């Protein structure tokens, strides 16, 4: 009827005990069509009683393990925030009630996606269990022109009849071998000191050099200069989007600071938040329509900042050029990519009203594009992903950054729970 074809693609990783699945939808009609839902995978289990293990949380308490019986209703794990989120992780386990660490059957399903997603679980009147994973459909649509193809994110399925420990190890091995890339994939990461909680915005080149001198005596291998090095940034109210060095703070320039740090035997890292813009910034004054907003509505500030419209090529190109200018001229060994607020007022000035729901997916594809360009242009930089801590801890981000900051909470007791939940997936 519609001339829309759906092709289902499977990858069989025999040694890893993982099967992948995604879908490609092609419009073969002579006129455009609009997708309203495009799930990546559907798993039907026509037998057994199952329990759902999922990983909920909040900022500073991510990936808390919760185990619930699968009942005759619809259970949903999702994010509508434009990020995989602190609140829910795009990974679930279906386990038999008696399954523990070393015995019992369990299925894992992991979505390779960093944007808004939806995982639906239903047990029907015949006691058959269905699991559906994909892009969050309430915030999604996509116009397909004749001949165009839409590809869904990939899902990673795995199964164990030897308990949760074996399932976790299968995902650990798969992510390390087949998702993570680069020279840091298989080697010990450098021990680093980050300037943030030691100095916040109140640093200059002498203070950072003093940190490096002391750190060297403790066996620390890298100094990371966090937020505050760019534009006129002395607090959280300005300069996101102005990615040029603040030479009032770094008086000899960035290269001179790096030389001082390297002279102490330490490598040097730097902080960015490329997807954000401050109202008080040169970039915002030059391009007030570049932030994410809805026409005729007052946009919502979060952490004194707006989100940049990474669905737009001109926005991405501007940020790419600014970052490339700094990274190509300085000896930088590490880059921390942060994302400190979720997306509200989701809309783009370039999308017409009937295509506004394309924004969320276009945004995350834009982020992937910039990350891909950076990792190819600077293959020797260690990229660490951060999203107010662990707000984008997902396998798609691991493809671009083999290291992710698990949480802003470093309390040793609470971190045990965060690390435990994280380790069941990653």
Q: Where are the alpha helices (DSSP H) in 247-384?
A: 254-263, 282-286, 313-329, 359-377
pLDDT at 342: 96
Token pair belonging to 292: 């994410």
Q: Give, in order, the Cα–Cα distances in Å from 346 to each of 80, 159, 293, 309, 357.
A: 10, 37, 6, 9, 8
Digit-coded pLDDT (tens) for 301-316: 999 999 999 999 999 9
pLDDT digits (tens, 9 = 90+) for 141-188: 999 999 999 999 999 999 999 999 999 999 999 999 999 999 899 999
Q: For the whole model, what pTM was predicted?
A: 0.97
To the query of whether residue 325 is one of the catalytic residues in this protein, the response is no
At 86-130, the pLDDT tens digits run 999 999 999 999 999 999 999 999 999 999 999 999 999 999 999
Which tens digits make up the pLDDT trace of 361-376?
A: 999 999 999 999 999 9
Region class of 228: left (phi > 0), else alpha (psi between -120 and 50), else beta: left
SS3 177: helix
* Per-residue model confidence (pLDDT) at position 188: 93
* Residue 71 pLDDT grade (very low, low, confident, very high; cuts 50, 70, 90): very high
Which is the catalytic residue, given 205, 280, 338, 394? 338
**What's the rounded Cα separation, in Å, for the pair 220 and 393?**
25
309 is catalytic: no
pLDDT tens sequence across 232-260: 999 999 999 999 999 999 999 999 999 99
Give the pLDDT score at 189.
93
Average pLDDT over residues 404-420: 96
pLDDT at residue number 322: 98
């Amino acid at each position: 009827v519609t001339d829309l074809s759906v092709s289902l693609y499977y990858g069989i990783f025999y040694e890893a005990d993982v099967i992948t699945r995604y879908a490609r939808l092609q419009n073969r009609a002579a006129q455009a069509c609009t997708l309203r839902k495009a799930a990546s995978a559907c798993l039907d289990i026509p037998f057994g009683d199952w329990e759902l293990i999922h990983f909920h949380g909040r900022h500073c308490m991510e990936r808390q393990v919760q185990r619930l019986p699968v009942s005759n209703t619809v259970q949903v794990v999702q994010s509508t925030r434009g990020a995989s989120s602190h609140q829910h992780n795009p990974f679930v386990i279906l386990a038999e009630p008696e399954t523990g660490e070393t015995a019992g059957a369990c299925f894992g399903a992991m979505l390779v996606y960093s944007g808004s997603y939806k995982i639906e679980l239903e047990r029907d009147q015949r006691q058959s269990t269905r699991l559906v994973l994909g892009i969050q459909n309430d915030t999604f649509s996509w116009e397909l022109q004749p001949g165009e193809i839409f590809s869904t994110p990939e899902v990673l399925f795995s199964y164990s009849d030897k308990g949760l420990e074996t399932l976790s190890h299968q995902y650990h091995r798969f992510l390390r071998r087949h998702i993570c890339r680069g020279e840091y994939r298989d080697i010990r990461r450098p021990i680093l000191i980050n300037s943030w909680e030691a100095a916040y915005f109140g640093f200059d080149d002498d203070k950072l050099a003093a940190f490096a001198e002391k750190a060297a005596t403790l066996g620390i291998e890298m100094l990371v200069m966090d937020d505050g090095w760019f534009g006129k940034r002395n607090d959280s109210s300005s300069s996101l989007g102005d990615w040029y060095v603040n030479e009032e703070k770094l008086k000899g320039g960035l290269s001179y600071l790096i030389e001082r740090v390297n002279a102490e035997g330490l490598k040097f890292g730097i902080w960015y938040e490329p997807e954000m813009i401050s109202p008080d910034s040169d970039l915002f004054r030059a391009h007030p329509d570049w932030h994410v907003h809805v026409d005729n509505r007052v946009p919502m500030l979060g952490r004194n900042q707006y989100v940049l419209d990474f669905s737009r090529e001109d926005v991405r190109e501007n940020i790419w050029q600014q970052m490339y200018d700094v990274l190509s001229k300085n000896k930088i060994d590490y880059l921390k990519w942060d994302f400190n607020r979720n997306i509200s007022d989701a809309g783009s000035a370039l999308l017409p009203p009937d295509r506004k729901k394309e924004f969320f997916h276009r945004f995350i594809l834009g982020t992937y594009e910039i990350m891909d360009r950076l990792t190819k242009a600077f293959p020797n930089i260690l990229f660490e992903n951060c999203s107010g801590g662990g707000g984008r801890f997902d396998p798609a981000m691991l493809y671009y950054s083999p290291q992710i900051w698990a949480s802003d909470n470093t309390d040793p007791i609470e971190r045990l729970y965060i690390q435990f939940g994280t380790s069941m997936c990653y």
